[in-house]
Amino acid sequence: MTPDCTISVLHDVLRGYDRRFLELDRAEQDRLLDETRRFLGESGPSEETRAALPSAYRLRAFCIQRGLRDELERLIRDEAAGVAGGAVVVGGRVYAVYPYLRGVPRQDADITAEVGVDHRLDAASWKNGRLRLVGRAAVERVETRRTTVEVLLRDRDAGAEHRIAAEPTGDGGGEAFSAVADPAVLGPGRWDVHVAASALGVTREARFGGVRGPAFKLDETPRAIPLELARAVPAQEAQTATAQAAPSQAVPSQAAPAQDLEARLHLTGSGGHLTLLVGAATRPMPLRTRIRRRLAR
C-alpha cells in the first residue's frame, strides 16, 4: 500500500471514532478497536503518515494503540461537546494539553498548523468621520493575559495594507479591543478588514466580521469625507496605507483626492466579512435637472 493510500485509509478509519463510536455496544467497540489496532501495527503509523494527519486523529491512534479506552472516550466526548483543550507555546510552536493523557509524543500534540484566531466583532460606529471597531480576538486555545491585537485593512485591488494597533478594553488581557480607522488616510478603495492576534510569539490572522456579537447592527449609511479633510491628512500619515504592500506589487503613492469622498461599511461574501468602501462622493442631482426630467416624462 502506497503512503498516500495508507494515509487516506487511516484517515477514514480514525474518522469513525466520533459520536458514532460511543453509540456502539461494548462488543462492537471491542471489535472495532482490535481491528484498528492491528491496522496501526505495533510500531504505529510512520512519521510521514502521522504528520499528514490532524492532531485529533493522531491522538486517537495514540489511545487505541496503547489501549487507553477511557481516555479515548473522553477525548471523543469533549470534541462532540465542543470543549477544546488548552495549549502551551514552546519555541514558537503550539502543543495541545490534555491532563488525562500522559506520554503523548510531542509531534502528536503539535497543533501549530491548526490553531487560528478566535474573533468576534461587537460594534462598528462612526464619529467625526472615523470608524471605530470594537471586538475580541485571541490565538485559539492559547491562554494568556497578554494578547496584542491589530486591525489590518487591505485594498482588494491595489494590495495596499494599513495596520492599526488596537487598544485593549476591559480586563480581557488584550482580547477585548477597540480600533479607530480614518478613511481620509486610507483613500479610495475596497478595504477588506482583517484582525491579527499575537500571544507568546504566535500570531494568527483572519478576515474580520464573519462572527458578530448578538447586539451588533451594521449601519451602511455612507459617511461624507469632505475634500478639505482628506487634503489635511499629513503626507507621511497617508503613505502608511501603502507602506505594507506586497513587495512584488507596485502601489502608487496616495495622491490628494480631486473631490469629496464618502465611506460606507459592507458585509461581503458568504461569511459576511466586513469591508470598508471608500470612493468618490455621490453628488445629488441639481434641482433644475430633476425638474427637466420630471417634465419630460
Residues 162 and 237 in one domain: yes
Confidence grade of residue 125 (pLDDT, cut at 50, 70, 90): very high
**Of 3-17, 119-133, 184-198, 240-254, the least confident:** 240-254
| Confidence bin at 203 (pLDDT 50/70/90) | very high
| Integer Cα distance of 3 and 9 in angstroms | 10
Same domain, 102 and 162: no
**1-10, 24-33, 276-285 — most confident range:** 24-33
C-beta of residue 183 within 8 angstroms of C-beta of residue 261: yes
Same domain assignment for residues 89 and 133: no
Domain range holding 102? 3-109
**124 and 259 co-located in one domain:** yes
pLDDT at residue 240, rounded to an integer: 45
Instruction: Say whether pLDDT at 2 is over 70.
Output: no
Q: What is the pTM of this model?
A: 0.79
Give the per-residue pLDDT at 173. 63
User: Using CA atoms, how far apart are residues 257 and 233, in angstroms rounded to an integer?
Assistant: 11
Residue 49 lies in a domain: yes
Choice between 30 and 250, residue whose per-residue pLDDT is larger = 30
Residue 237 binned pLDDT confidence (cut-offs 50, 70, 90) = very low
Alpha-carbon gap, residue 257 to 265, rounded angstroms: 20
3-class DSSP state of 271: coil
Q: Give domain status of residue 191, yes or no.
A: yes
For residue range 141-185, what is the model confidence (pLDDT) as tens digits? 999 989 999 999 999 999 899 999 999 997 666 689 999 999 989
Same domain, 179 and 198: yes
Work out the number of other CB atoms within 10 angstroms of the CB of residue 207. Answer: 20
Do 31 and 140 belong to one domain?
no
Asked if residue 1 has pLDDT above 80, the reply is no
Residues 92 and 137 in one domain: no
**Cell numbers at residue 167, please?**
487598544
Written as nine digits, the cell of 166 is 488596537
Per-residue pLDDT band for 284 (boundaries 50, 70, 90) equals low
Q: Look at residue 290 in the predicted model and tell me its pLDDT.
A: 62
Residues 54 and 126 both lie in one domain: no
| Same domain flag for 98 and 125 | no
- In a domain, residue 175? The reply is yes
Residues 67, 125, single domain; the answer is no
Is 176 domain-assigned? yes
Alpha helices in the chain (DSSP H): 3-15, 19-22, 26-40, 47-51, 55-65, 69-80, 106-109, 183-186, 227-231, 235-243, 287-295
Compute the mean pLDDT over every residue in the chain, rounded to the nearest whole number: 86
**Is residue 213 one of the residues assigned to a domain?**
yes
Amino acid at residue number 238: A
Question: What percent of the chain has a predicted confidence (pLDDT) above 70?
Answer: 82
Q: What are phi and psi of 181, to 5 degrees?
A: -115, 140
Indicate whether 122 and 93 sit together in one domain.
no
Are 131 and 255 within one domain? yes
User: How many domains are there within the chain?
Assistant: 2
293 part of a folded domain: no
Q: Which of 92, 109, 126 is the last residue of a domain?
A: 109
Which CATH number goes with the domain that contains 172?
2.60.40
